[in-house]
Amino acid sequence: MKRLLLTLALSAGLAAPALAMEPLNQEKHINDSLRAGRIGDVIRKTCPTISARMFVVWSKVEDLKQYALDKGYKRDEVEAFLKSRTEKNRLKAEADAYLKAAGAVEGDPQSYCAVGEAEIAKGTLVGSLLRSSK
């Protein structure tokens, strides 16, 4: 029995390096969170009756950085990802597509308000970042 446990333990140890971390731009929670932040930012800048809940936004950003570090990503890797023009453009395009699919129409602030109000009402991550003055 001890021999079996030792063999399993060694096998698990040898297999561990094969379980490499996925690139940051493929980590679902991180990307979903950053996309939600971008969507919320566009809504608050476009809709005159919606603003950001800045303390919540700041808190979620800090939580997200800690999440990445806890998963084993290096601080410089996280910073480089967050500053990458390529990644910013990718997330911007994804956020724009989400807003369009949700009914936001460029040049129509009220359509962004409607999307924002719906996100708040549904209690989504985007909605948790926003406050309505209605």
Q: What tens-digit pLDDT sequence spans the chain (134 residues)?
A: 445 443 444 444 443 343 568 999 999 999 999 999 999 999 999 999 999 999 999 999 999 999 999 999 999 999 999 999 999 999 999 999 999 999 999 999 999 999 999 999 999 999 999 999 98
Dihedral class, residue 47 (left if φ above 0, else alpha if ψ from -120 to 50, else beta): beta
For residue 60, count other CB atoms closer than 10 A to its CB: 19
For residue 8, the model assigns a pLDDT of: 40
pLDDT of residue 73: 96
Q: Identify the pLDDT of residue 121.
A: 97
> Strands (DSSP E) along 47-123, which ranges?
50-52
* Predicted local confidence at residue 18, as pLDDT: 38
| Strand residue runs (E) in the chain | 50-52, 130-132
What angle do helix axes 109-122 and 85-102 make, rounded to 10 degrees? Answer: 90
